[in-house]
Amino acid sequence: MAQTTVKVYLTGKLGSMVYTPNRQGTAVRTLVTPKNPKTAAQTAQRSRLAAAAKAWSALAAAARTSWKNLIGSFPNNLSSFNIFVKVAVTAAQCGDTAPTVAPALPAIGLPTFGSPPLAGTVSTSTGAVTLTCTPSLTPAPDHYIYRASKPVSAGVASTPQMEVILIVAGASPASASALGAAYTTKFGTPVAGKQVFLQVIPVKSSFQGTSQVFSAVLTSIA
């Protein structure tokens, strides 16, 4: 139901309808309950965010100042708290210990990839999936974070949301079989002809570098 405004001032909820007063009268709309699937990944991320916020509260003034000094190096007007939480969460995702005092901001280059940068196969006999995506970066990062979305139709051009961490690798890229197995664990076995999107993020000293997103249509092999 679209929102409707009536010339009576009401507020509150009645059944599935919500009434909100405004300058024209009362806006009436259908009650919408936000999705909250509480997946394992979602719950883990909330725990990491809560732990990072708690860690910030425990920082000494000098430590907080060290994070404040990084503000000018980050876009989007991030606060010192935002920068610390971002770094702490990334550290937790990679299995590292988050720094309490801000380290020197590392220089993280842009990885290069093969041609094509992403290729995927599905075995008709075993159902095994491979995703070949091999970044190369010198000096090497501490980790590569791979994110992915569920398979979509081959004609989809827009990049879907990359909410799911597929795998966190070390300084060496994840193998094609490891990426394929992780993808199957997260989304089930995709069928040949479907398109997958993969995001690759280099990480150094718990700081994330520039992410790159690639897509590939899965091909069938024996």
Q: What is the pLDDT of residues 203-221, one digit of tens each?
A: 999 999 999 999 999 999 9
Q: Establish if 66 belongs to a structural domain.
A: yes
Do 22 and 47 belong together in one domain? no
Identify the pLDDT of residue 9.
65
Do 3 and 69 belong together in one domain? no
Task: Indicate whether 51 pLDDT > 90.
Answer: yes
Task: Indicate whether 31 pLDDT > 60.
Answer: yes
Q: Establish if 1 belongs to a structural domain.
A: yes
Q: In what order do the strands lie in the sheet with 219-221?
A: 129-132, 119-123, 219-221
**What is the pLDDT of the chain when averaged over all its residues?**
90
Q: Establish if 109 belongs to a structural domain.
A: no
11 pLDDT tier (thresholds 50, 70, 90): confident
Do 62 and 153 belong together in one domain? no
Do 85 and 166 belong together in one domain? no
Residues 140-176 pLDDT 10s = 999 999 999 999 999 898 988 887 899 999 999 999 9
Do 123 and 214 belong together in one domain? yes
pTM over 0.85: no
Identify the pLDDT of residue 92.
97
Q: Establish if 12 belongs to a structural domain.
A: yes
Task: Indicate whether 125 pLDDT > 60.
Answer: yes
Among 106, 89, 199, 185, CA closest to 144? 199
Do 48 and 2 belong together in one domain? no
Identify the domain containing residue 79 by its residue range. 40-94
